[in-house]
Structure 1
Amino acid sequence: MKALAASLLFAALAINISVAQPAASARDPAPVNQRAVPLWPEGAPDAKGPGPEHQPTLDVYCPETNSSGAAVVICPGGGYGGLALDHEGKQVAQYYNSIGVTAFVLTYRHSGTGYHHPTPLNDAKRAIRWVRDHAEEYNIDSSRIGITGFSAGGHLASTAGTLFDKGNPDAPDKIERASSRPDFLVLGYPVISMSDTYTHKGSRNNLLGPDKKADDELAKKLSSQHNVTAETPPTFIFQTDEDTAVPAENAVAFYLALRQNKIPAELHIYQRGVHGVGLMQGDPILSTWSRHLTHWLRNNRFLRPSATGEVSGKITINGKPITWGSITFVPEDNLLPLITARIRNGEFSAKNRDQIPVGKHHLKIMFSAADANLSTQQAPAGIAETTKISPNSPDELTTEVREGVNNLTLDLNWAQ
């Protein structure tokens, strides 16, 4: 087979194809980590004692390099009676650091320390306000602050994402003037309902407390699927089908409420996996949920907002339109969105929400093997892909996308 040749034709605002260059240097390191930062330095409201168990705190984990400017408050689970601070706290913070997100692990008050609703929610709302108020100190974009929660911590995160407020502009405490609305939600096997047959009864009893655990009206008000509105933040959810402690009906109910309100959402339900798996790094299947989350954060532009350009064009092979395939724009900055456009009858278009971030990208073209008359030995799966002008070329295709309209015409000459 002869080498693959490509001719690239561009208009005045066309894309420029060039040899790939090393990625841009990392940003300055973020501030150093801190532990047990009090949410209320003068003492938490309604505290039942002076001890540390009565003072909600944040453990701060900062990326060592390449900070994205995004931040997240992490709510460990524990049935509202304890906190799984390691595998649903510290480990998750370290994952977020690996993708440039500053993480704040919340030690909130709960039944195990003598507190019930609304104290945990007040602690979570205060944590979001605190991070927003300290955004400049931690090199954070105050419009990209999310909240993550697992199990009962997922319920806490979902209530923070549905029962938020804009802050009190007249409050003497300036932190209380900040909004408590998170900009995105990440929920892992969350408790959602406090009133249906699939609720986690232990979480309900601990949250409502002995005096109100039979209060069905309050339980329904704290069932987050009933509180989703058009203002609820975009949400990522993961769950397992085998979870019997907090059944998947919880995650599904919240997802359906998000769909009903047209909130951008993504739900992953894995068949296998018990409750409380955390990142589950040792499982090659279940551990993929965090990679899905990374792509979701990237493509929703929470990791690296940027200017974008509209890209469209035509792709042919041996002079004939590619009947079916795709073109992927892989940014050199791995925090920017990874966008794939579908090719049909030789044409593709990346417009509207799928516009391509401005900057340099690698190109990957996938097409049907039938378009190039490839044998099953050459393309066993029936598809072929290329990232180079020719198979033997050391140069990979890259493209520089500019703001405005970008036009790309690509003709692959795959001679037999």
Structure 2
Amino acid sequence: MKHFLLLLLSFFAPVVWAQQVEQFKLWPDKPEASEAEIFVYHPAKSGKAAPAVLICPGGGYSGLAMDHEGHDMAKWYASNGFVGVVLKYRMPKGVHTIPLSDAEKAMSLIRGNAAKWNVDTHKVGVIGSSAGGHLAASLSTLAADANRPDFAILYYPVISFDKMNTHGGSKKNLLGNDIGNQELIDRYSLQKQVDDKTPKTLLLLSDDDKSVPPLNSILYYTALNEHHIPASLYMFPDGGHGWGFRYNFTYYQEVKDLIQKWLKHIKITD
């Protein structure tokens, strides 16, 4: 029994080491923004700088699915040699600049702490799910050049704020009283904001998503393709919305395999 327990501990030891996590306030000098935080999951030590991912959970810009669209993802990435950073961004409550300012700050912190966290500054990506996918795509298209990611992985993202295609709750929560402002609707219809600096992108979604129409991802993929930006889109036949890293999603393993192959293809991993 003793030998069995030792063997079990030795089997799990690398996983425990890979799950070391630190927590930081994004705006330590701004009490009004105290809820904005990042959780940094470190991989096992290696001889070279690691790629990193900033993970933006979904929640319709009214809450955050921090586990299956946040921490669970970060743990998996850390176990695969990444620095996984979960972003707990502030809810906008109609102040549309808030989430993107948090995402840009988080990205600047990752690159600013590259030496300390052993991050390869040319391999810093963003991951986002649902409304978090909208935030990740905002970071990919609207952010200052220094804060844009090197690659993006978007799960069933909200992309368009056009009336026929959008997720109404995300739009209302982000724009608030400006929900009818056409300039802002166009700004946050992110397929219209893709440019030559938008990063390579992987889109993952389900055909039967009733919350965020699949056309959102298709519009974004089309815009990327028109700008000759490498992009891949995988639409699973079922699964609905919000599956993230849930084990009961039928294509749970396929999603992980596709991500790993895509990251190798774009030369983020070996």
Same fold (TM over 0.5): yes
Runs of 4+ in structure 1 off by over 6 angstroms are: none
User: Are 1:118 and 2:97 counterparts?
Assistant: yes
Contact 1:30/1:138 (<8 A) preserved: no
Unaligned stretches of 5+ in structure 1?
1-25, 167-178, 304-335, 337-416
What residue identity is the alignment partner of 1:144?
A: K
What residue identity is the alignment partner of 1:92?
A: M
With the length of structure 2 as denominator, give the TM-score of the two structures.
0.89
What residue identity is the alignment partner of 2:21?
A: N
Within-5 A mapping of 1:334-353: 336=270
Contact 1:99/1:294 (<8 A) preserved: no
- The answer for the alignment partner of 2:155 in structure 1 is 188
Q: Deviations over 1:221-266 (max 9, x none)?
A: 1111001111111001101001010010000000000000000111
- Alignment partners' CA distance in 2, 1:140 and 1:221: 31
- The answer for the alignment partner of 2:90 in structure 1 is 109
What residue identity is the alignment partner of 1:77?
A: G
- The answer for the alignment partner of 2:229 in structure 1 is 263
- Alignment partners' CA distance in 2, 1:219 and 1:81: 18
- Match for 1:42 among 29, 35, 55? 29
- Alignment partners' CA distance in 2, 1:251 and 1:62: 31
User: Are 1:59 and 2:39 counterparts?
Assistant: yes
- The answer for the alignment partner of 1:100 in structure 2 is 81
1:33 deviation in Å?
Answer: 1.7
- Alignment partners' CA distance in 1, 2:80 and 2:231: 20
What residue identity is the alignment partner of 1:267?
A: L
What residue identity is the alignment partner of 1:291?
A: D
Contact 2:160/2:189 (<8 A) preserved: yes
1:40 deviation in Å?
Answer: 2.0
- Match for 2:21 among 27, 33, 48? 33
What is the Cα-based RMSD across aligned positions, in Å? 1.9
- Match for 1:231 among 178, 187, 197? 197
Secondary structure, counterpart of 1:161 in structure 2: helix
- The answer for the alignment partner of 1:82 in structure 2 is 63
What residue identity is the alignment partner of 1:206?
A: N
- Alignment partners' CA distance in 1, 2:163 and 2:218: 13
Percentage identity across paired residues of the two chains: 38
- Alignment partners' CA distance in 2, 1:31 and 1:138: 14
Greater strand share, structure number: 1
Greater helix share, structure number: 2
Secondary structure, counterpart of 2:255 in structure 1: helix
- The answer for the alignment partner of 1:148 in structure 2 is 127
1:95 deviation in Å?
Answer: 1.4
Give the number of aligned pairs: 254
Secondary structure, counterpart of 1:296 in structure 2: helix
With the length of structure 1 as denominator, give the TM-score of the two structures.
0.58
- The answer for the alignment partner of 1:383 in structure 2 is none
Q: Which has the larger radius of gyration?
A: 1
* Higher RCO, Cα 8 Å, sep 6+: 1
Secondary structure, counterpart of 1:208 in structure 2: helix
1:115 deviation in Å?
Answer: 5.6
